[in-house]
Chains A and B, each alone.
Chain A
């Protein structure tokens, strides 16, 4: 079988080459597949070294950088023309319950108690895990998806969670 070279779909931009090298060492040691690359011209920040990653692992990699004090500028899709994550949030009223949808993720809670009753959507492995950790817990004390999750699905679930918490706390309750 031919060896398939790593080809990611996301890029981490750093200010300095040394930071990029430290970043590469840090994420590689944590088991992620990465590659040091020259950033595309439109992404150059004065430094000619960036890190190619699997974009889906953005949340876990960013958390790792924060824990290990690796400064970076931004994480962005490598594909030109796709630069922003979906930020559309939709709210559906089911009477006693509310469903908040952010991107591909949905979180439903009981209006009266704030109890998270279901999490739906997504296809990354941390979503069933977050479901197990968050469902049947009150919004206020449930673990946050951005603390436990690793993937873009978890990032979207965090948005749904924040919106749900805001609604429960008297925000734009439907």
Chain B
């Protein structure tokens, strides 16, 4: 089972746990409806596109409404801490949430109680909390953007708004050095996917791959285009790819979907997510030689992931 954890910007959404499905612009779980635009909703929606393509079990979600006061965050952490052992997900992705370090510490203690450790991915507030609490090494993948890799490389910062100026001022060419510094500080997960004009995939301080094609500069202003990479890599790991393969595919999928949409800065992320099934059908076989066939695709049919 894959579990996706995060807050939804709806103060009326009570804590919800259940398997997710999509209808139009909304996601549904356990009778509750919430938006799939931006943030956790975009991340879930991206993951769902991949599990649908590979005909895998749809993700389970643990979400709650939170508009920034932290109430929903506390609810989902409490549930996760109390139930992580019995839920025993194979992949757990933690996303938008108030970065409360004490809750992250409790979670990391609780997850050790299970027989099977989940593959742990963090982005957004959950990544801030893990770094701030000194628990980055408990995670398998972080997916920072350029501001956030500078934050991970700053030994003093507990939030990206307070990173040192020399780190903030730097240009993209400094990202490889910041990756090394983040690993030296033990502020990085086992793997980093740094999302930006050029995407970097790194492990143990070493850059394993970079992806810069297709180059679609207008993806940068579109809110949620980093969230989708987090959802994509989560589902691709769940589908059985190695972390490196999943990371490369996630970045390429996002870029290709962006290119197919031909976006402007006014494009919404849901338009890019809606392009993921087409990218899977048209490119995955050629990218990997690992192909999947159903009645609606013309791709070769073996082997399956």
Decide: A57 and B148 in contact? CB cutoff 8 A.
no
- Chain B residues contacting A55 (CB-CB under 8 Å) are 158-159, 162
- Assess whether A151 is in contact with B68, with CB atoms less than 8 Å apart: yes
Q: Which residues of B contact A40 (CB under 8 A)?
A: none
Say whether A4 contacts B106, CB under 8 Å: yes
Give chain B residues whose Cβ lies under 8 Å from the Cβ of A127: 39, 96
Contact A123 B106 (CB under 8 A): no
Rounded to whole Å, the gap between the CB of B226 and the closest CB of chain A is 8
Q: Could you tell me the distance in whole angstroms from the C-beta of B30 to the nearest C-beta in chain A?
A: 20
Residue of B nearest to A32 (CB): B70
**Cα separation A75 to B37 with both chains bound (whole Å):** 33
**What 0/1 pattern do residues 1 to 22 of A give for CB contact below 8 A with B?**
1101111010000000000000
Which chain B positions have C-beta within 8 A of A26?
Answer: none
Q: Chain A residues near B69: list those with CB within 8 A.
A: 30-31, 60, 150
Query: How many chain B residues touch A (Cβ–Cβ < 8 Å)?
Result: 66
Is B8 a contact of A128 with CB atoms below 8 Å?
A: yes
B99 contacts the other chain (CB 8 A): yes
- Which one of A6, A60, A85, A99 lies within 8 Å of B102 (CB-CB)? A6
A154-B148 in contact (CB<8A): no
A150 to B157, CA, bound (A): 19
Contact between B161 and A60, CB atoms less than 8 A apart: no
B103 to chain A minimum Cβ distance, whole angstroms, is: 9
The residue on A at minimum CB distance from B42 is A128
Smallest Cβ-Cβ distance to A96: which chain B residue: B264
Task: Give chain A residues whose Cβ lies under 8 Å from the Cβ of B109.
Answer: 1-2, 4
Q: Which residues of A contact B119 (CB under 8 A)?
A: none
Interface assignment of B59: CB less than 8 Å from any CB of chain A: no
**Residue numbers in A under 8 Å from B221 (CB-CB):** 92, 94, 97, 99, 106, 108, 117-118, 120
Which chain A residues lie closer than 8 Å to B68 at the CB level?
60, 124-126, 129, 148-151, 154
With beta carbons under 8 angstroms apart, the residue of A88, A110, A149 that contacts B169 is A88
Q: How far is the CB of B45 from chain A (nearest CB, A)?
A: 13
Q: Whole-angstrom distance between the alpha carbons of A84 and B266 in the complex?
A: 32
Q: A79 near B158 (CB under 8 angstroms)?
A: yes
Closest to B223 in A: A120
> Bound complex: CA of A104 vs CA of B267, how far in Å?
20
A140 at the interface (CB under 8 A from B): no
Give the top 9 A-B pairs by smallest Cβ distance, nearest first.
A126-B68, A123-B124, A128-B39, A150-B68, A129-B9, A104-B147, A117-B266, A152-B161, A108-B221
8 new A-B contacts at CB < 8 Å, known A88-B165, A94-B221, A117-B266? A4-B109, A54-B98, A55-B162, A117-B265, A120-B222, A123-B148, A128-B9, A150-B70
